[in-house]
Amino acid sequence: MTLSVSIGSATLRFPTFMPVTTFGGKFPLDEIVRPYLSRLFPATMVSYHYAQQMRKKPKGVLFIDSGGFASLFEGSEAIDRGEFVDIKTKEGDLISPPDVLAFQERWADIGATVDFIVPPNCPLDEAKRRQGNSITNAIWAIGRKRKSAFLLYASIQAWDRQSAKDSIEMLAGYPFDGFALGGMVPRIQRPDEIIAIVDGIREVEKERPLHVFGIGSPKLATRLFAAGVDSTDSSSYVRAAADGKYLLTNELEYALLTEDLVTQCSCDVCRKHTAAYLGLESETNRMALALHNLSALNQCLNRRT
């Protein structure tokens, strides 16, 4: 398993968590939390959908995904262009591999290829079609990568150990800088399935970095790291803060705030503020709660990796 990867003059050490942020104002709390992210974690994740509204690159390593989640939108369809496959939404928006790759090479340090999410209980024929489209797009993109300092991860879609093994066997012979497993968020309540999929990938590809999209649970993230995953990402730290929830470092789960919880925490936020302050609903107070959640997540993962 890879312990680190060089990105320009920086070194990204694994395992690591990548906090997700957004641009465009849909989630105002993200705007005020973002300047603090690089103080706690070396990399930030932004979806291609929100990254298109970015005007300034965040500090640290930036990972931009492909926006493939749009393949799950009602009315979305696959448009086969021969060499690659586009995603077209019901509203007419187009997520095209050439556009995504060009944008990623302009802005990102790491990017993932355009994939078609395979949801749980997807009919087998449709699951294989989506997986095949994802493989096609990955192979197209690696042949068009031009910026040497940019790291391109092949997106993987799988629903069990064998399908994961089948996918990685198709991709492992190409010079991808790493791999990124998508479609796992709907499977969070079935963590053993996710671990089995990771095991299938690691059975074939043992060295290059492996990222899993959308995992912010410290319990599951630590299990994934132990299974050979190098990085995960999530916006759970800030979404929980928006709901007034506080990450417990020992229990590795979120809970509603109480005064005794805050007095037991040694992070900078909890040393400065009371539960009453963190529980207020203004953006400044919610920002402080989000920073506690990030600090606690950092403590959880450092303690267990």
For the chain, which domains are there? 4-234 (3.20.20.105), 237-305 (no CATH)
Q: What is the pLDDT of residue 287?
A: 96
Q: Largest Cα–Cα distance of the chain, in whole Å?
A: 60
pLDDT at 2: 65
In this prediction, what percent of the chain has a pLDDT beyond 70? Answer: 99
Q: Tell me: pLDDT of 97 over 70.
A: yes
pTM score, two decimals?
0.95
The helix/strand count (H/E) of the chain reads as: 13, 15
In the predicted structure, residue 305 carries a pLDDT above the cut 70: no
pLDDT of amino acid 261: 82
Alpha helix ranges (H) inside 34-159: 37-40, 48-51, 97-107, 124-142
For 16-71, the pLDDT digits (tens) are 999 999 999 999 999 999 999 999 999 999 999 999 999 999 999 999 999 999 99
* Alpha-carbon distance values, 147 to 108, 113, 134, 248 (Å): 11, 15, 22, 42
pLDDT digits (tens, 9 = 90+) for 152-211: 999 999 999 999 999 999 999 999 999 999 999 999 999 999 999 999 999 999 999 999
Say what the pLDDT of residue 259 is.
79
Output the CA–CA distances (angstroms, integers) from residue 287 to 4, 28, 209, in the order listed: 30, 10, 31
Question: What average pLDDT does the segment 257-261 reach?
Answer: 81
More confident residue, 1 or 163: 163
Nearest to 286 by CA among 17, 18, 3, 28: 28
Compute the Cα dihedral for 21, 151, 7, 5 and give only its sign.
positive
How far apart CA 305 and CA 35 sit, in angstroms, is: 26
Does the pLDDT of residue 90 top 90, yes or no?
yes
8 confidence band (pLDDT: 50, 70, 90): confident
Query: What residue type is assigned to position 228 of the chain?
Result: G
Determine the Cα angle at 204 with ends 96 and 117, to 5°: 30
Residues constituting the chain: 305
Which one-letter DSSP state was computed for residue 57?
Answer: P
Note the pLDDT of residue 302: 78
pLDDT at 187: 96
Judge contact between 11 and 301, C-beta under 8 A.
no
* Residue 191 identity: P
pLDDT higher than 90, residue 301: no
112/162 Cα distance (integer angstroms): 22
**Cα separation of 229 and 222, whole Å?**
9
pLDDT tens-place string over residues 211-234: 999 999 999 999 999 999 999 999
pLDDT of residue 251: 86
**pLDDT at position 1 over 60:** no
